[in-house]
Structure 1
Amino acid sequence: MQPLRGIKDILPNEVQFWQYIYNQANNILTLSNYNEIRTPILEQTNLFKRSIGDSTDIVNKEMYTFIDQGKRSITLRPEGTASIARAFISNKLYIHDNTHKLWYMGPMFRYERPQKGRQRQFHQLGIECIGSLNYIADVEVIRLAIKVLEACQISKYRLEINSIGNSEERQIYKYELVNYLIKYKEDLDSDSRKRLEVNPLRILDSKNLRTQEILNKAPKLTSCIQSESLYHFNNICKHLTYLNIPYKINEKLVRGLDYYNYTAFEIKADCLGSQDTICGGGRYDKLIECLGGPKTPAVGWAIGIERLIMITEKIININKNRPNIYIIIQGLRAEQKIWDIIRMLEEYKISFNLDFNKSNLRKQMKKASQSSADICCILGDNEVANNYVTIKWLKTSKQQKINLDKFKQYLHDIKNLIIT
């Protein structure tokens, strides 16, 4: 049996990188009063249609949707923000506090062509700051994204940011953009020709060189943005400058989800090649209200974990999980007595590996040497009869007999030597 195409196993040697990223994110976000939330991977299909948008590629082409036994349309979540917004509404979180700072890490699902760092089951780390219109909230989430990347020792990145205005301003711009592009319809790539009718702003993201040439002389979104939107955006830029966070204004950056307004941003890593976006986010002040909740502004981002790991595994040296003590048992009486020793190891939080094989002592000692443990602890019927345990230091071959009554004190004395 093989896994489904685009869905990968995460093996033990890889999990350590995932755990490293989780711990770094948890430490950084907890300091800024962000609390972890975990939402279901299954949601009603209508949640994503209403939030992401019927005209997006995600809804039209990429969602895993099926009819369950209750005749309901169910979708595996393709992104995290809509589920957070739904959880905010259905659990009435708005009753208790004005502002909620939430973060999550988990699997998402999209039917796309699998490629390196981009699978059909992929994972995202994301944050959502819910309840504030203040541009400082936008600055905070961008700053936290960079702190997470830097904690993962990623120093070569590019922040691109844009103001996409509000929905009314974008409607005006859509009209101007379509009027301009319609003259070049036959010169556009096939995807852009389709988007011309259903989602013209997404044409700005086209990677087609001829389409980009045409767009160079197209009307700019900034020409339709009014003073309130510009005030919000300009203040974000001032704060980023004060924080010494380099950024580039990308007037073609719109993001692929309908719920964004005001701020859109991406963080890119050069070492990833053409699929270089490692973090994307923005402000979405109308989403919660659109889903039936109270009028609640919000801003957030998501980082692709697979892409992040592609970088971090090359530059971060994570020590593989190894036991401090390798335990060998020989004989029936030793099999029972060993539990007393294990309880002592657990009390002192000393990691161990218990050898279950009933092979001879020589073979077990060979495995102990291969385990990278510091010490081999040998308990046989002879040791039990004489109330001691044999300790062998694997690097020096030094051997000791420790009285079982004094073994707990022995662990106390050597703990700092073997746990580093």
Structure 2
Amino acid sequence: MKKQFIFALVLLLGALSFAQKKELKTVEKAIKSGNFADAKSAIKSTEPLMANADDKLKAKFYFLKGQALYANGTGSNTDIDQAIESFDMVEQVEGPKGKYGSTIEDLKTQMLNNFLTKANAALQSKDYIASSSGFDKAYRMSPKDTTYLYYAASTAVTGQDYDTSLKYYEELRDLKYKGITTEYTAVNKESGDVEPFDNKDMRMVALKLGTHTAPKEKKTESKSAEIVKNIALIHLNQGNDEKAIEAMKQAREQNPGDLSLLISEANVQLKMGNKVRFKELMQEATLKDPDNAELQYNLGVIAAEAGEKDAAMLYYEKAIELNPSYTDAYNNIAVLILAEEGSIVEEMNSLGNSSADNKRYDELRAKRVEIFESAIPYLETTLKLKPKDVQAAQTLMNIYRGSGQTDKYKAMKAKVEALESGN
């Protein structure tokens, strides 16, 4: 009786193995003919049979399942995600040097290129959600290339899919992603501009051709501060103020000397309306790096956005003191000064024709001219340092006209016309 039972069990296992192989042949045949719908259907009916299959059959099953779901790149997002998991399962079952190893590597390369092509095409057409999905799939296919996950997060936030972008940014944070790369630049002999190159070899070609000179290399800044800042800002956007502050707190505890994180926290505090804390952090930033002209300028921009005009002026002036050629600082000081003109013009337009109104009008006009004259030196310096700055030239032209400096107005008008025509 016992022998009969063993014999029956062998027959049962043999029948099961035969069924497994038969179903897999059906899947394989459908894939070869390009009938991926039938292949997916056959995979579903085959899957329950795989529980007791040996590793050889399991590896083949996951290999075919991956192909059926990927469908030469036409599968749905969910199917493609499962296809990636299936190909990973093949390696888990048979090891990295198994029967399907090289074939899967080729397929993964094909899939990766397909994801990146679609992601870049979607980015060009401003379909940020599709672009984000493509970059995410590229990362899942090649986890060592964490830059793809960074692109997925960036495009998701641009597409205002904040839940998805938050998930990606938090994953990047947990991976301790920094995104530091080497930038290769050289000066274009014809234009005099510093131009970037994709890599060192491309720059070498330009140097050998003689079109460029003065090659330089520098490391880009770490993106860790940007990532944490975006996590905080997304929390802030979603009304999770406490989570936003906590994200910044954790980041600064891990990187106490990171100035960019300090400035990011200042931005978050400002967006939350915490002006006192904002000022404290700004002061802390200047103490950490008092001789950094760019920092002083950026602090000026932030202060100006916060409506802190006096503080912004001090930061811009400090930036100029540290770097007398800081064009943008001169320009922004002029912008701060000219901002006062708006309220004056508004009051001038509201006046009537009484003698009191006429007197007030003359007072306001004189004050407006004073504002113009205060801004002129900064704009003239901007244009001296940056002769092709059309916006600065246009502003000066309007100021000369508004302050009655006819000769200077005419000269600047000619300059603006020349700049706008490209001469």
Q: Give the alignment's TM-score, normalised by structure 2.
A: 0.19
Q: Give the alignment's TM-score, normalised by structure 1.
A: 0.19
The structure richer in strand per residue is 1
Structure of greater Rg: 2
Higher relative contact order (CA 8 A, sep 6+): 1
The structure richer in helix per residue is 2
